[in-house]
Structure formats: C-alpha cells, structure tokens
C-alpha cells in the first residue's frame, strides 16, 4: 500500500477513535472489517492509533504548530512504520514541521506533555507513588508484551516452550507464575496447533497470579464471580484438575459466549457458565454458604491495563470511579455470602487506584469480622512463588508494570472463620 493511503487510513480511524464513544479496540476491529488491509498494514495502523492514544497530550501540543487536518498530524507523529516510508507520504511543509518536532527534548516539556495523563489522575498517582510516579508513567506509555498461560491439564510448560521454539517463536518463562510464558513478539497464535488444541491461552502473568491465589483444589465448589470471557475461569478449572464444580458468573451473556470456544479447546468439563441479572440474583442465593473458594475480579476502571488499553485514561472520569466503588462494594459483600466456614475469598481488580483497591478491602474487613485477612505474600510463598514478597504491599498483592512487567493488579484474600 502507498504510504499516503496508509496514513489516510490512520487519519480516518483516529477521527473515530478520538470521539471516545466506544472502546478503541472495538472501533479498530470494525475499521479492519470495513477496510481491506493486509496483516502488515493492519499492524501499522493499529500501533499508530495506540501510540497516539498513549501520547495524546504531547502529540496534541505538537500538532498545534503544524498545518492541515489535526488527525493527519497526530497520525504522522504516531506513525508506526519506518521513517523513510512515512516521509514518502509527506509534503515539504509537513517534513519541516516533523523535523522541528523531532528536536523537542522531553526535559523541556511541561509535565502534562511528559506524563500524558488526564489531570484528575495525576495527583492520586503521585500521592500513592511519590518518586515512582515517573517510572510508572514511562511503563504505561510503552506497549505491553504478550504472555501465555500453559494449560497444565494438557501440557507441561517446558514442552510447550520447545514446541513454540520449533515454530520460531521464542519465549521465556514468566518470573512468578508457574504457568506462564512471555513473548517479545506478537505472532498469529490462533494458527498454532498448540493454540487450537487448547494447550495455551493469552493471559497476562498478573492475571495468572490472581487465579493462583485462589488455590482451587480437586473436588471443590468454586465460583469465578465476574468471569467475563473466562481467562481466570480456565486457569481455575485446570488447577482443579477438571474435578469438582466451577461456576462462571457474569452479568453479560455476551462475555460468557466468548468463553464457550475457549472452554471447548481447554478440555474442561467442570465449568458451568451462568448469566446473572445482578450480584443479588436468586441463583447466587441458592449457593449461599456452600462454596469453598470465590474469586471476584471486580468491574473496575481498568487503569492497570493502560499499556494495552490507553484509551481508558481518556474515557474514565472521577464520577465513573465513584460509581464503580459503589458497585465493587456491593459485589464483594454479596459474593462473600457464598462461602462456607473455612472458605477463601479473593477480591481483585486491574486498577491502580487506592479507592478501588485498599479502601474497598479495608471497609469490607471492618464490616465483616467473620472474615480473617490472609497475607498474600505468605500464600504465594506457600504455592512456591519465588520472590513473592516483591509482589506485595502490606497484606495485599500489588503488581505494577514498571516493577513486575505485568499489568497493574491488586488482590486481597480472606478466610471465613465462622458461620455468618
């Protein structure tokens, strides 16, 4: 494709994405269905869009000093292909403007153009992280790698690593998860035999560790309370060695539908997807006091996933966070009623904000004395995770992209000590 046509495709798509009416990945997918682009062109367009979303403050500032449509200038700044290829699409004034942009030094920029965050998010993160604010920002503004979880019901991690190497896919074992492999590239996994037979699934190492914390055992009754498309459900089912009964609850039947093909590949027969109306659904009440382990990967702001979903920082608002906190509190309270005495409760998010994490856990602990908090570092150490203390802050799991190479995750664990 001619560079100008590719740049035009990026500009058209950016105009849609920057309305922030829908998640960026949905808008990009729809664009690709409507436009006939090859794999390389799709990769260039997608990465251009995500680069602009990551650095929107900076690029908007630089774009003010150029000419022509704003979306085209933003696409030029974020264009994810060789510079010589890009220059073939530019006018002489555009080339001059881009050369001036290249000379801007990060140290000379104002803070908003360096951190590329909405103003409302800056102070909470600075208050929480202090000097680590800028390392976090740098990590969030870089693309994420790709982690795989090996389905231990079917294969060993070492064998899958060898199999992928034969397909010219280099991986390293994840440093903490016993199930994970990390890739530096993003190959077409769905064409691999290991994928089609259910031996591997795409899952961030942090998400794998959340499932590990549940420590689901053979023959138990387990609930994944906010299962979504079921990444953690599949990991839990494998931990249970396909025995017992694993309920995958979610309020979205559409998300649960996305679990079905993954479930078929996985070889699991102990998983029972259940669409619920809300956290107080009668189907949940019928299981009260009968469940051994409950995982709540709560609906959250998703701000721990900005490496993959940079549009979230522009789509979220403080009011939306307040509404989520109410929902998270209600879900945790309702889900806790499922547990039998001695049962384990895990509350988790992929948020980096304290109000969605520690504040929720602390309030639950105060209101529910029959739930005793467990130290996540002790649980992970018991499960054989080396360096578990590095993953935790106080009693909680706290994963950060700049420290651990994962998305941002939080988890708290309790054990029910007596009948409520």
Least confident of 183-197, 205-219, 326-340: 183-197
Q: What percent of the chain has pLDDT over 90?
A: 87
Q: Using CB atoms within 10 A of its CB, is residue 143 exposed (0-12), middle (13-18) or buried (19+)?
A: middle
* pLDDT tens digits, one per residue of 364-383: 999 999 999 999 999 999 99
Between residues 378 and 68, the one the model is more confident about: 378
**Predicted local confidence at residue 36, as pLDDT:** 84
Q: Which listed residue (10, 101, 350, 392) is catalytic? A: 350
User: Cα angle vertex 271, ends 194, 414, to 5°?
Assistant: 105
- Mean pLDDT for the chain? 94
Q: What average pLDDT does this structure show over 235-257?
A: 94
In the annotation, is 392 catalytic? no
Q: What average pLDDT does this structure show over 295-305?
A: 97
**Predicted local confidence at residue 188, as pLDDT:** 83
Say which DSSP state 302 is in.
-
**Predicted local confidence at residue 420, as pLDDT:** 47
Confidence label for 6 from pLDDT (cuts 50, 70 and 90)? very high
* pLDDT tens digits, one per residue of 76-89: 999 998 989 999 99
Q: How far apart are CA 177 and CA 319, in angstroms?
A: 35
C-beta of residue 230 within 8 angstroms of C-beta of residue 262: yes
Q: What average pLDDT does this structure show over 49-58?
A: 97
Q: How far apart are CA 267 and CA 250, in angstroms?
A: 21
**Predicted local confidence at residue 200, as pLDDT:** 96
pLDDT of 418 above 80 = no
Contact residues for 10 (Cβ-Cβ < 8 A; gap 6+): 44, 45, 48, 49, 75, 78, 79
Q: How far apart are CA 411 and CA 284, in angstroms?
A: 22
Cα dist from 209 to 261, 348, 390, whole Å? 23, 11, 13
Q: What average pLDDT does this structure show over 32-58?
A: 94
Q: How many other β-carbons are positioned within 10 Å of the β-carbon of residue 405?
A: 19
Contact residues for 281 (Cβ-Cβ < 8 A; gap 6+): none
Contact residues for 148 (Cβ-Cβ < 8 A; gap 6+): 160, 171, 180, 181, 182, 183, 189, 200, 201, 202, 203
Confidence label for 419 from pLDDT (cuts 50, 70 and 90)? low
pLDDT of 238 above 60 = yes
* pLDDT tens digits, one per residue of 90-116: 999 999 999 999 999 988 999 999 999
Report the Cα 376 to chain-centroid distance in Å: 20
Between residues 51 and 3, the one the model is more confident about: 51
Confidence label for 14 from pLDDT (cuts 50, 70 and 90)? very high
pLDDT of 417 above 50 = yes
């Amino acid at each position: 494709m001619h560079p100008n046509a590719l740049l035009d495709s990026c500009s058209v798509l950016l105009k849609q994405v920057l309305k922030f009416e829908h998640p960026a990945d949905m808008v990009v997918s729809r664009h690709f269905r409507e436009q006939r682009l090859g794999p390389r062109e799709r990769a260039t367009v997608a990465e251009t869009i995500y680069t602009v979303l990551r650095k929107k403050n900076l690029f908007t500032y630089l774009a003010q000093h150029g000419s022509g449509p704003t979306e085209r200038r933003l696409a030029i700044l974020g264009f994810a292909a060789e510079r010589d290829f890009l220059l073939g699409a530019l006018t002489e004034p555009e080339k001059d403007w881009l050369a001036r942009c290249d000379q801007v030094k990060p140290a000379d920029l104002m803070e908003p153009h360096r951190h590329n965050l909405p103003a409302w998010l800056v102070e909470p993160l600075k208050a929480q992280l202090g000097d680590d604010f800028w390392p976090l920002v740098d990590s969030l503004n870089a693309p994420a790698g790709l982690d795989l979880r090996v389905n231990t019901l079917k294969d060993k991690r070492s064998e899958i690593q060898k199999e992928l190497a034969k397909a010219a896919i280099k991986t390293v074992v994840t440093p903490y998860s016993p199930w994970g492999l990390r890739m530096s590239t993003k190959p077409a996994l769905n064409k691999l035999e290991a994928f089609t037979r259910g031996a591997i699934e795409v899952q961030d190492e942090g998400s794998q560790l959340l499932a590990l914390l549940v420590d689901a055992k053979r023959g138990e009754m387990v609930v994944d309370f906010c299962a979504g498309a079921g990444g953690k459900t599949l990991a839990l089912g494998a931990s249970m060695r396909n025995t017992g009964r694993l309920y995958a609850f979610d309020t979205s039947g559409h998300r649960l539908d996305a679990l079905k093909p993954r479930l078929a590949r996985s070889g699991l027969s102990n998983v029972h997807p259940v669409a619920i109306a809300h956290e107080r659904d009668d189907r949940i009440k019928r299981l009260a006091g009968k469940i051994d382990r409950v995982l709540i990967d709560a609906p959250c702001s998703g701000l721990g996933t900005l490496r993959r979903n940079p549009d979230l920082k522009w789509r979220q608002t403080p009011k939306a966070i307040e509404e989520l906190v109410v929902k998270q509190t209600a879900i945790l309270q309702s889900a806790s009623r499922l547990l039998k005495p001695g049962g384990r409760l895990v509350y988790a998010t992929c948020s980096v904000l304290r109000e969605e994490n520690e504040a929720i856990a602390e309030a639950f602990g105060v209101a529910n004395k029959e739930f005793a908090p467990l130290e996540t570092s002790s649980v992970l150490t018991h499960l054989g995770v080396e360096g578990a203390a590095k993953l935790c802050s106080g009693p909680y799991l706290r994963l950060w992209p700049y420290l651990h190479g994962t998305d941002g995750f939080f988890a708290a664990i309790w054990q029910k000590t007596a009948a409520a």
